[in-house]
A and B are shown apart, each in its own frame.
Chain A
Amino acid sequence: MIDLQGYGPRLLEGALVTIELAVLSLILAVILGLLTASAKLSRNRLIHAVGTLYTTLVRGVPDLVLMMLLFYGGQIGINMLTDQLYYAFDIDIFINVNAFVAGVITIGLIFGAYMGETFRGAFQAVEEGQMEAARAYGMSPLLAFRHVRFPLMMRHALPGIGNNWMVLLKTTALVSIIGLTDMVRVAAEATKATHEPFMFMIPVAMVYLLIATLSEWGFAKLTKRYNTGFGESSEWNN
């Protein structure tokens, strides 16, 4: 029925690249998002301004343009930097930008900004009374963050994180344009060689749908877990 004309194994490898890329960039994006959220909630005006500038710029420019800028510009920028190092300190190094690493960094950077907005809103949604109670129990700031602020924040952040993950997953398709061999690129190459777009694009689309469906189910489970103690429909009404 389905004749992948020998592209099957490569499509599978491509699917693995897509998944690895998505998961690693998600981790980077969450870390950057937490940092950005704390920057935007900081009382220090300079840090606040840096956080705001980052989220505004990144969210105002298409992902593909940022990706091209960082990917094509990244190597030149690093070369310039290493040249400077050589002239100034006589340190001779050469760094070659790996396409996969560049992809993870760009997608992580882009979604760090979106995650930052999500986390900022979630942190602000945590009631101050909860933190006062934690302090009254004599918890250290770190302990209070770990046991009170963070889990409560996650309850508000999870829907946003879920949305961002879905968008991020689809954004990974763009790395095929800048030269990374994910499953979309394999499918595009196969299409150009065999002139059978449906044969290759539809299975790839199905894989995306499958991942999306599975993660929806996973996020539903997580939401339930972080909602413990808040009742089934106390705040969400759905």
Chain B
Amino acid sequence: MEQLNGWFTELLSGNTIFTANTLSFYWGGLVTTVQLVFLCLLLGIVLAVPLAIGRGSKRRWIKLPIYAYTYVFRGTPLLIQLYLVYYGVVFFDGIQDSIFWVVFKQAFFPALIAFTLNTTAYTTEIFHGAIKNTAKGEIEAARAYGMSRKLMMRRIILPSAFRRALPAYGNEVIFMLHASAVASVVTIMDLTGAAYYVYARFYAPFDAFIFVALIYLCLTFSIMFVFRRLEKRLLAHLRPRGS
């Protein structure tokens, strides 16, 4: 540990930009970015499953509002959605007097809401596509066993749809990680915000932004690696035999 510490100090000595101080900024940014992305993805999955089922419903009054929601949120830039939530939250009557204001005063929660709304729209469409592509034979077999619609959804359709949705969902996770960079616009000190701070302070765009780009690259590759592993395990039954 001491050796590592010494090596680290030596590495940083003579370096005016990457001092322990700025590195701690980047670290704080990394934590914020990961929290923001992880939370919005988690909420997004929870909300997207019922919405995706409703999106495939035969009843128009269920299907159409969900379609309108995904269409609007997938068709407009995340930045506008973020601005709308961030500047619009004060228009909810009485929010500034309620106990929630402690939470909404910080930019983190408006950003979390905007990101969640955005990723829910994309995830709903991904899951809906996967549910729609369920093999006819699986449904017929479930029906032949006398399963009710609910049971069939829970035991047959959803598990197989989740597996089929995995590659597209992996892309959505990476997309969300990259999109989260706009959080820096509403005063959140995420990774990009930290990089901008370092750039503005030292007027060193290359150092500040290339360093943060490398961190994002590492995160992207880690996510890709995890999803590759998951796909290999969960989609094993779809691979040709003997490979």
Show the binding face of A for B, using Cβ within 8 Å.
57, 59-66, 68-69, 72-73, 76-77, 166, 170-174, 176-177, 184, 187-188, 191, 195, 197-198, 201-202, 204-205, 208-209, 212-213
Contacts and interface: CB of A to CB of B under 8 A. Distances in A.
A170 B77 contact: yes
Nearest to B177: A62
Contacts of A198: 84, 88, 91
Contact of B217 (A61, A171, A213): A61
Given A61-B178, A173-B79, A184-B77, A201 B84 contact: yes
A72 B217 contact: no
6 contacts: A60-B217, A64-B182, A73-B206, A177-B79, A198-B88, A208-B80
A188 B88 CA distance: 12
Interface in B62-80: 71-72, 75-80
Given A68-B209, A69-B210, A197-B87, A184 B80 contact: yes
B155 to A, nearest CB: 27
Contacts of A173: 77-80
A61 B213 CA distance: 6
A177 to B, nearest CB: 6
A170 B213 contact: no
A74 B124 CA distance: 39
B79 A65 contact: no
B90 to A, nearest CB: 8
Interface stretch (B51-59, B93-101, B192-200, B230-238): B192-200
B205 interface: yes
Interface of B: 71-72, 75-81, 83-84, 87-88, 91, 177-182, 184-185, 192, 195-196, 199, 205-206, 209-210, 212-213, 216-217, 220-221
A205 B178 contact: no
The 7 closest A-B CB pairs, nearest first, are A173-B77, A197-B87, A73-B205, A69-B209, A62-B178, A62-B181, A72-B205
A65 to B, nearest CB: 5
Residue of B79, B206, B216 with most partner-chain A CB within 10 A: B79
Contacts of A170: 76-78
Residue of A65, A73, A202, A212 with most partner-chain B CB within 10 A: A65
Contacts of B199: 68, 72
Contacts of B79: 173-174, 176-177, 184
Nearest to A205: B76
Contact of B178 (A63, A176, A191, A213): A63
A209 B75 contact: yes
Given A62-B181, A65-B212, A197-B87, 6 more contacts: A60-B216, A61-B178, A64-B192, A187-B83, A208-B80, A213-B75
A208 B77 contact: yes
A65 B83 contact: no
Nearest to B77: A173
Contacts of B83: 184, 187-188, 191, 197, 201
A57 B206 CA distance: 15
Contacts of B212: 65
A65 B209 contact: yes
B75 A60 contact: no
B213 A65 contact: yes
Contact of A197 (B84, B180, B192): B84
Given A62-B216, A63-B178, A73-B206, A204 B192 contact: no
A236 to B, nearest CB: 14
A60 B221 contact: yes
Nearest to A202: B84
